[in-house]
Amino acid sequence: MFEPGEEFAADLDASDPLASMRDEFHHPRTADGSPITYLVGNSLGLQPKRTARIVNEELDKWASTAVAGHFASERPWLSYHELLAPPVAAMVGAEPHEVVTMNSLTVNLHLLMVSFYRPQGSRRKILLEHHAFPSDHFAIESQVHLRGLDPAEEMIAATPRQGEETLRTTDLIETIVRTGDELAMVLLPGVQYYTGQVLDMAAITEAAHSVGADVGFDLAHAIGNVSMDLHSWGVDFAAWCTYKYLNAGPGSVGGAFVHERHHRRTDLPRLHGWWGHDKGSRFEMRNEFMPIPTVEAWQLSNAPILSMAPLVASLEVFAEAGGMAPLRSKAEQMVGYLDFLLATHLPGTVRNLTPVEISRRGCQSSLQISSPDHDGRAVFDGLIAANVECDWRHPDVIRVAPVPLYNTYTDIHRFVSVLTDLLS
């Protein structure tokens, strides 16, 4: 299927139906103007060229209309988050009333755990993974503390088998079933940040519900990367950031999902804020909370418009690309091509922690240098010196993520060529 030469990469680029999307983005260069091969969309996505225009439209609106911008414009500030709901819902497989753009990822996890971590009697435990992103671990730990419980007793860490790097679905399900009526909540990543493994969210959700536990997912590395169907899977809640594959800029606004079956429940605790109050009576300023009967009830404050505007720009680009289906198809071919080049040029020298099966991986590959003659960190530094941008995760992983919206097969070929030179 693949060939090792640079000409073959150029041919793949020439026949790529999504090739024109690359021109929708700014691409970084060195101080002398040399191009950088950018393979770090898993950490910070590139800026769409239209972002500045859309942000400036909001700045101009502020300058020319001031407070009236909340009501009279193409994108009124009062309902700005509502404009984002349909395209964001399409990214995660949800109904528009089940998603809301707000806050940051960890803030949203805290807000959602107030509702969905409800320890009662012997049902107090939370299942997470042993190598959870620190922010997730800290959030869970602090929520357990807030309930007056001991994290050492109530946090169960799922661990790969001896000699393996990724979690087996069968082991996760066995842990869920074994914990049974002691399990209050499961909180796992959709895509594991270190290994790039895509977890089987549908199977995990079904297993957790079978023992009476609620299920949430951190989708920071999943949204904009892999196809999802949160609504049909029955996931209880989820949260994500938008600065990785969603290209909304550093520290940009996050998002949340709550399944519609929970929207009208009166037994769920929740932190209340003015923006979660019934829209029809919000400005009557009554101090009697009436929750919006959607996920919007979990909102606290009005929308940060200047942080949301870049997301408007990025979601337009996703729509023009045809959504996740064609992007996922290209991503699968790109990771297959990367695997082929690594196996061809560097057999036994580079170890990929990311699962081989396409259904268990997204854009990211997590590589370890297995040659005893080379230090992984020195190899990473060599890549950066050669203007190949990837990232390093302690203790010994080089993460590389060819993103289908703006990366090329030539980018992948150049990465492997530079890596081969460094290891030769």
Residue 415, in any domain of the structure: yes
What pLDDT, in 10s, does the model give residues 285-315? Answer: 999 999 999 999 999 999 999 999 999 999 9
- Statement to judge: residues 206 and 288 lie in one domain: yes
Residue 45, in any domain of the structure: no
- Statement to judge: residues 281 and 377 lie in one domain: no
Residue 40, in any domain of the structure: no
Q: How confident is residue 1, by pLDDT bands cut at 50, 70 and 90? A: confident
| Nearest of 8, 71, 21, 89 to residue 327 by alpha carbon | 21
- Statement to judge: residues 158 and 304 lie in one domain: yes
pLDDT above 70 as % of the chain: 100
- Statement to judge: residues 288 and 412 lie in one domain: no
| Nearest of 218, 244, 254 to residue 99 by alpha carbon | 254
Average pLDDT over residues 235-241: 98
* Contacts of residue 256, Cβ cutoff 8 Å, sequence gap at least 6: 99, 100, 102, 103, 108, 111, 112, 237, 238, 239, 240, 295, 298
8 Å CB contact between 298 and 258: yes
- Statement to judge: residues 188 and 103 lie in one domain: yes
Q: How confident is residue 73, by pLDDT bands cut at 50, 70 and 90? A: confident
pTM greater than 0.95? yes
Q: What pLDDT does residue 372 have? A: 86
- Statement to judge: residues 181 and 253 lie in one domain: yes
Q: Is residue 111 exposed (0-12), middle (13-18) or buried (19+ Cβ within 10 Å)?
A: buried
The CATH number given to whatever domain includes residue 295 is 3.40.640.10
Of 262, 296, 319, which residue sits at a domain end? Answer: 319
The string of DSSP letters for 240-294 reads E-SSSTT---TT---EEEE-GGGTT-SSS-----GGGB-TTTGGGT-SS--B-SS
Residue 31 scores a pLDDT above 90: yes
- Statement to judge: residues 394 and 281 lie in one domain: no
Of 265, 295, 319, which residue sits at a domain end? Answer: 319
Q: How confident is residue 402, by pLDDT bands cut at 50, 70 and 90? A: very high
**46: DSSP letter:** P
pLDDT above 90 as % of the chain: 98
Into how many domains does the chain fold?
Answer: 2
- Statement to judge: residues 389 and 376 lie in one domain: yes
- Domain carrying residue 29: 6-35+323-423
8 Å CB contact between 268 and 262: yes
- Statement to judge: residues 182 and 73 lie in one domain: yes
What pLDDT, in 10s, does the model give residues 258-292? Answer: 999 999 999 999 999 999 999 999 999 999 999 99
- Statement to judge: residues 67 and 31 lie in one domain: no
C-alpha to C-alpha distance for 225 and 163, rounded to whole angstroms: 28
The CATH number given to whatever domain includes residue 327 is 3.90.1150.10
Residue 41, in any domain of the structure: no
Q: What pLDDT does residue 33 have? A: 94
Residue 407, in any domain of the structure: yes
Average pLDDT over residues 181-207: 98
Q: How confident is residue 66, by pLDDT bands cut at 50, 70 and 90? A: very high
Q: What pLDDT does residue 46 have? A: 98
Paired with 174 in beta bridges are none
Q: What pLDDT does residue 424 have? A: 87
Of 304, 319, 334, which residue sits at a domain end? Answer: 319
Q: Cβ atoms within 10 A of the Cβ of 389, count?
A: 17
- Statement to judge: residues 244 and 371 lie in one domain: no
Q: Is residue 254 exposed (0-12), middle (13-18) or buried (19+ Cβ within 10 Å)?
A: buried
- Statement to judge: residues 287 and 340 lie in one domain: no
Residue 14, in any domain of the structure: yes
Q: Cβ atoms within 10 A of the Cβ of 63, count?
A: 10
Three-state DSSP at 164 gives coil
Residue 155, in any domain of the structure: yes
Q: Cα 149 vs. chain centroid, distance in angstroms?
A: 30
Residue 373 scores a pLDDT above 90: no
Residue 158 scores a pLDDT above 90: yes
CA R_g for the chain:
22
Residue 48, in any domain of the structure: no
Q: What pLDDT does residue 185 have? A: 98
